[in-house]
Structures are given as C-alpha cells and as structure tokens.
Structure 1
Amino acid sequence: MKLFTSGIRGDPAQSSLLADNEKLIWFTLEEVAQGQTSDGKIAYIEALFKDFDDDRTSLKQALENLKDSFEANYLNCQQNYRIVLPRDEEGQRISAGVRGKEAAIDLPLNQHQVSLLLGMAAHLRGFDFLEKAPSIIVHPYGWIEVEENCDLQIELIKLVETCKDSKDVVVENQKNRWFRLSISPECVFFDDAYFRCSYYQKDLQNRQNKVCVTAIRRQFITRLGTVAEDKKEAKISTSIIKSLDKLMKGEQDDSLAISVRGSYRKPPLHDGLSSLGMRGLLRQDAGAVRIFCEIMEN
C-alpha cells in the first residue's frame, strides 16, 4: 500500500497526521483506480481519471511506479558514523564518531539533559515506553510534542540551546512545541551497561550444535518516561559459546579472539543486539578483542 501526499518532509504536524488513522481514508492502489473503497468511500479524483483517458489500469501502473515522496530529513545523517548515549549518571559523556572509533565529545550537558536525550533517542529508535511523561505526545520519526508552559518544555528549549553548535547531537525545535533528536536512527546506540546476554548451561551439556542465546536490553528510566525491557533470541554455534567463555576467563589468545569475533558477526546474535541498541558484543580495545556485554549462564 502507498500513501500519496505532496510536500511531506518529516515535519511534526504532518507526522502527527500520518499517525492518526481517524483523520485519513486509506486507499489501496486498486481502490484508487476504481475511485472508491470497498465500503463506498469516494476519492474525488475525476481529473486524474481524465488525464489517463479513463484507462484505470494505466493509472494504477503509474501509481505503482511512483517513488515514495516522504523524507524523514534527519539533520545529522553522516555516513559510517555512530553516536552512543551514556548511562543516566553524573559525569557521563556522549561518544560519537566513525564506527569503531567513537570518542567522548565535549558537550556541557547536565544529568537531566542526558536523561532527556536518552528518552529522545529511545523514541527515535522505536523502543517501547512502559509509561511516558504526562506532558508529552510521541509522534513518528522521533518527534515529541510537549504541552505549553510545562517544565519539560522549558528543559527541552534549554537543551536545544546547549546543543545548537554541536555537529553530533542535533536537536530540532519546531515552534517550541515539537522536538526531536535529529540523527539517522541506525546511527544511535546506547551504553554497554544497558545490555546482557544469557544461555542455558544444559544446552551445552546436551552436546547440541547450537545454543539459544537471549540478548536483553534492560529497562531504564529517562526524563521522558520508562523505556521497557526488550529481548531478542538467536541460536549460535556451541563452539562460539565455548570460545566466548574462554575470552571471559581472560584467555587472550590473539588468534582465538580474532576467530571468535569473525564468527560472532555472522550469526543473528549480532543483528539482535544491534536492533536493541548495542554496538556489539565483541570489539577491539587497546589492541585486544574484548567482550563488552555481561554473559550469564542459567
């Protein structure tokens, strides 16, 4: 199904409209060609029919060939780039930069502002909230609408001012009512401390070829609300689990570490952690491959 609109470029008012199905009548391409929906709602597009000499088949084909008109238009869309949101603790700093070489950036944020950015980043990535601040409404593409004259509005306006010169942390403000962290969502990640993995020891003892590993993002609290725990399951080879266990015990054999890292990137566990917001289970650090996530036996 396609929705045809003109001029949509990701602004919050239009995103709000797209999110509210009660304000829209949805037409499949077949229904557009017929001029009405199956329940009798009429599309007043007679001029379009005339333009195609009432050839409804050609009209449908032309609509199918149209490119999507929507653009999210995130202001920070750097290539091969990542930004990593820290824990909501005093003194924590945001890291950003080329993938694998992220470093702490010099941005004077207080703890409340970090908590705001954590909530905005979680919404941008599509994470579920168990509960949200009562003064906000969330919209698609990272937009947050805030009530007039509330404390949160004042905090968000100050956050925009603090980040105005940053090329990494870009916060958009529309009319002091709509705000978003304007970064391509696939570039946004979270501190390693939010994650853990677990597997069952009995799976190893049963001499199975693969072991089910559960990757978990812990529940965490932000200024915008409480972000729900989430988990992904993946089956990976028993040999990788055993190799990870050796690395956790400090057996820093270079050939083992490189082999494990290469093997780990292939199974779905890596993709599962990425979708939860973690950069990866294994990364290079000071010339050695290290595990950056708690792994537990059940």
Structure 2
Amino acid sequence: MRKNLTAKQLIERDWKFPTGHRLGYQGFVSEMKAKRQEQLEAWSLRRPMANFEVNDYLAAYQNYPPEEFSEPYSVPDVAYATHLNSMQKKYLSRFKNVRRAWSRVLRFLPEAMHSGDRLRVLEMSTAHGATLEVLRHFGHDVVGNDFSNDGLSSRVGGGTPLRQVNSDIPVENVNEADWPYKPIIDSLGLDVRLFDAGKLPYPFDAAEFDVVLCFDALEHYCHPKDWMKIVDEFVRISKKTVVVRINPIQRHLIPDQAYTPYVQKFYQAMLEYSKSGFRCIVTEAESNQPLYFKLMKISDK
C-alpha cells in the first residue's frame, strides 16, 4: 500500500504515526525491548539467528535514536511536486533514515558516540543527511557531499560506475537547485557541498577532517580499477579515520572479467593498505562479500 502513496502522503503518514508505529516513539521502544528478549532467548538456546539487520543492532546494544528524531521532515509544499517525487520513497521517512544511520555509526564508528572529542567529519554521498544528523547529535562538526546527477547524459557508456577516474561526464541541464535532497537538507540546516566525487582532487585541504565516511557510494564514482585512487584521496583529507562500505557486486557484473577481478584486487589492497600512516584495522563481510573497511592513522610514516 505504501508504495502507491505520493511523497506528500508518505510524509503526512509519518506525522500521523511517528517512527512508523501506531504508538509512536514508545511503540518503537517497546518493539526494541521485545526484540532484545527474543535475542536473549535465542542466545540461551544457542539457536541460530538470521543476519543482524538495523533493528537487531539497536536492540542488542539497547542503544536507540532519541525521540527527537521521530519528528518527520518539514519541507515546503512546493517540494512535493518537484524534488521529493524524484527520490526513492524509502528515503522519505526521517526516522527510518536516522535508524539506519544510527546503526551504521554504532557499528562502524562507535568512538564518535562516546568520545569527548569534537570531530570534524565528512560524509561522501550523504543524500538525506541522516548520518550527519546523528553525528551532529553527538556534538561533532559535520559536512556532507553529494552530486546533482539528474542531468547525466545517456551518452555516458555504462554510467559513472564504469568510467575512469577524472573523466568528464557529459551532462545536460544539471542544476544544483534541482538536487532531490535539497529541501530535506535545507530543513535540517546541514552543510552539504555538491561536487562530482569521481573527479580528483576534492575541494578540501590535506587533513581537513578527522573522519571521512563513504557508505554504499564508491562503486558509483568510477570503475573499480580506480577505487584506490579515491581511497587515497579520502586519506589525504583525513587526520584519523576513513570508513568505506561498498555495495555487493551487482549480479550481472559478477561474470564480467573486466570488472569483478578489480573488485577482488580492491579487497586485498584495502586489507594491506599502508600509506601516510594509515592501516586497515577492521574488515567485515556481508552478503558473502567483503564490503566494509576501516582505515586508521596509527603512525606518522
């Protein structure tokens, strides 16, 4: 039913049922407590559980987004007929977006939730900005990046995922004001810079950020043979930490010997990363593939 609703109807539904639950935020908390009990029972019986998903992480750590995030996006009416109708509908729910982002920070950058240090963080391809919202909640200085690509020409062979890094993209009528997430980002008061992440160098100074994050986006910037060039740029502008999570290889690309072997080389290159004092300290697999890598600066060499 929800997939047939318009953007306006979906956000209006969020106002009626905060957190997507009929009992609002307290209903969500009760649901998490029940899930926590299910986990404890499964653990005591040594019963195998399905792969952890967003709510499973929140319940296991009993660490939930606060109620302030249950308030839906507040955007001007004109945005419904323009920007928001071009967005994927699953990204119109603020609490769902925050819940996913909260889980990612909990898993991949827990020190940002508990450290007393104020970090300057850049998230590449931030979209609706939920990760920035979460990190700002914990007192950090946040900046986002994205790219207004609605005007990408059909002449881009295979799209940006197959281009070489620094190659020009034929564009037609790209207008930053038409970036789909603009009304949401404006309503949240977040600092998001629009530029093509497949073009180097980025418009930032060396070591300008403490942390650079890139979730499920690297594969959209360029061909995997050039992914390490992008990672090197993340390291250039970071002082402490770089977190990268890629999407699973698309099924139609797995047999492609001009693509998949380069992804596998990327796995190994990230595992053995050793530049500017940065080393790989954590890797994690999902969907039977290595998808998550965390680099940290552990020396000055």
Structure with bigger strand share is 1
Tell me which structure has the larger Cα radius of gyration: 1
Fold shared, TM-score > 0.5 on shorter chain: no
TM-score for both structures, normalised by structure 1: 0.20
Q: Which has the higher contact order (CA 8 A, sep 6+)?
A: 1
Higher helix share: 2
